[in-house]
Structure 1
């Protein structure tokens, strides 16, 4: 976190009179990072942004000119995408689409719908017929695997709610042959997530392409698109050792040239990899206390703002920002060279964001700045648990010394 961001938070604290609690997003960093990612993609590859990672409007406005389109998982996300750009291509996935959502997607001109089941295909054919529409689809297939190692989440190759069982492909092909209002353009495979190994990810794509080729030959399909999902990860344990995108795209270019049919396009739908590094969640230390041999730093906020570390059961990386101001007439408590567990204000022992992390010095009134919080942080959190106030969201452009804020420290807000 830079000096400009510290000055912004100091100003917010002075204005509100409340302890600091805010998300900060570096929009210059976001633009530079995503521009670099997209510009390196080889021909016949497209990047879509998975909005579930962070669908705040400033994020979408920053990304819309950079990516090929948005990947959404609800009618609400369709509306957010259309509010930002009325023409940007949208692809719509998710295992539980309602009839209303499917109709709204058709009317909103969604580019592709990812069909997740036999029943969903039949409903989509029925609804498209009622609207006298032709809908382009990809079939999301839950492959049997096995898949390369080095991922922390699996959506296929084991029992999950995602996609069509690979064994049902012959049956769904028979159904497709009878459909008059859906057009199959290819397949959607998103089998693992938070993958950190570049060459293994190419091996995963090879499995996808080989399966699609097999089915295209077997059923005489004219495939034009293959959605290979997102799944490219962020290393929260060692921030200096991230997925090497440049190495990956060099391998990808060779793979596409040799193994992907010339009339196919590979679609990536990344979320975390695009936005995580632009965000900070900054909270003020309210108390330092020890119970049963463990030292706790209690901060303003908690997992109702920032659920990711609790969800993933990891210690989220942070830095301590020293604050010299002290408003009380009594001594300021501090610890040096200790292991600290960082917890929030919630009435549950699961409100933990990092456990037993070594710190050189920490004081009541210092700030803790959690890094890489631009994805799956605020967006997945149970915001109103215990009716605590929401954090401010601060949008910073360091290059022009501009910033804006959504919400105020210490007050609830609605985005």
Structure 2
């Protein structure tokens, strides 16, 4: 297992001019983004303004990620986690190689969901056994690659298990596997529910009970279970309740396992507060709940490693999407601020990546964080669709052509989760500073 970097001296640097006091004048922000910094009202990422980053990249539309902010976020979480709980990073949240390499020094493992992510994870130096390959619809090519690499395949269906056994027999290998269980319970208050009832993810709980006695005759080695019940949850009580239910289910599953297990992936679920009505996950409450959970852990489970798998929570707050104002226009007494970037670079911000009703991400003019707000405006992108909205009816300082417009909380599900080829406006740049 990869050993995380040492704690206090590295993760508690002095941060001059934190943003939180200035953000009192930015009511669209759900929580102060204290990991980022500002100088004289100008946003800094890695010590550089948006214009300086643009000069580095020779690009006027980009994602910028703050290395120190990622480190501090992970350190804050790990300081609350009991020793029995390990931390894995779900690469799909942000697969930008410098980000993955940096996060890899701070966590215990990776979760991947494609052969491309698998190759990326392996090339960071993470040990193969600390890489889990999950997700429905794995191809035979991907199953062979995962087995050849020596990583753990998280099996999502009886059919996938059958195909994996055929590939293992043909290649003369034994597959290391975990069974992803679709339990009867769900993660309450999750933004996206991924368990309980009919789901494309995992093997139904009753089917798992039926499969376990058959594994001894198969060319597989069962080393764990995976129960990812949902994501984007801001309620610590709901997360803890689901984890307690997982413990109860494990006690029923363990006697049927053909060999001693090594780990249980509890999934993640910790959400990010994007909107003004949101409140951050209560880490103190989670810490107290985890302490109680592991102090009362049944004896037959105490040898297991428990894994918390997170993506968005670790990197979202450390990133911004930046673009420039190119036009300001009036239409029927409404002001439109038009930018050179939009939904083709940041689909989630447009409301077309899981939202039922569109709500604004936290946004600002990066060089005017200390200036007063004026009348509401709509911030639009350059695409020929009314869906290309960066912010709607949002109060901002007085806009001017050339201003840097930034979308906060953009370190996850940004560039690779967006249709960058749409209308041929070109790809967005990325940088870790």
Question: TM-score normalised by the shorter chain: which range applies?
Answer: 0.7 to 0.9
The Cα of 1:271 is off from its aligned counterpart by 0.2
**Distance change >3 Å, CA 77–CA 297, structure 1 → 2:** same
Q: Any residues of structure 2 matched to 1:226-305 within 5 Å, and which? A: 226-238=264-276, 241-260=279-298, 261-291=301-331, 294-305=334-345
CA shift, 1:205, in A, is 0.3
Q: Distance in 2 between matches of 1:348 and 1:298?
A: 13
Contact 1:118 1:164 in 2 (8 A): yes
What is residue 198 of structure 2 aligned with on the other side? 159
CA distance in 2 between counterparts of 1:29 and 1:12 reads 17
Equivalent residue runs for 1:10-29 within 5 Å: 10-11=51-52, 13=54, 20-29=60-69
Q: Which runs of 5+ in 2 are unaligned?
A: 1-36
1:97-127 CA deviation, whole Å, 9 max, x = no partner? 11111111111121x2110000100111111
- Report the alpha carbon displacement of residue 15 of structure 1 after superposing the two structures with TM: 7.8
Match of 1:378 among 389, 404, 415: 415
Measure the CA separation in 2 of the matches of 1:63 and 1:16. 23
Q: In structure 2, what is the Cα distance between the partners aligned to 1:315 and 1:9?
A: 21
Q: For 2:238 and 2:375, locate their aligned partners in 1 and report how far apart those are by CA, in whole Å.
A: 38
Is residue 119 of structure 1 aligned with residue 159 of structure 2?
Answer: yes
- Name the structure 1 match of 2:94: 54
SS in 1 for 2:100: helix
Deviates more, 1:240-249 or 1:61-70: 240-249
For 1:103, the equivalent position in structure 2 comes to: 144
Q: In the TM superposition, what whole-angstrom CA distance separates every residue of 1:252-282 from its partner, at most 9, and x where no partner exists?
A: 0210120352112211110001111110111
Taking structure 1 as reference, are residues 64 and 36 closer, same or farther at Cα in structure 2, changes over 3 Å only?
same
Taking structure 2 as the reference length, the TM-score comes to 0.81
Which of the pair is proportionally richer in strand?
1
Confirm or deny that 1:320 pairs with 2:357.
no
1:74 deviates by 0.6
Contact 1:215 1:221 in 2 (8 A): no
Instruction: Check the 8 A contact 1:302/1:343 in 2, yes or no.
Output: yes
TM-score normalised by structure 1 residue count: 0.84
Aligned length: 381
Structure 2: how far apart are the matches of 1:140 and 1:16?
Answer: 42
Q: Deviations over 1:147-180 (max 9, x none)?
A: 353221111224331111223224323442431x
- Residue pair 2:365, 2:397 contacting (<8 A) in 1 also: no
Shift of 1:8: 4.3
> Following the alignment from structure 1 to structure 2, what is the Cα–Cα distance between the partners of residues 141 and 294?
51
RMSD: 2.5
| Counterpart in the other structure of 2:215 | 176
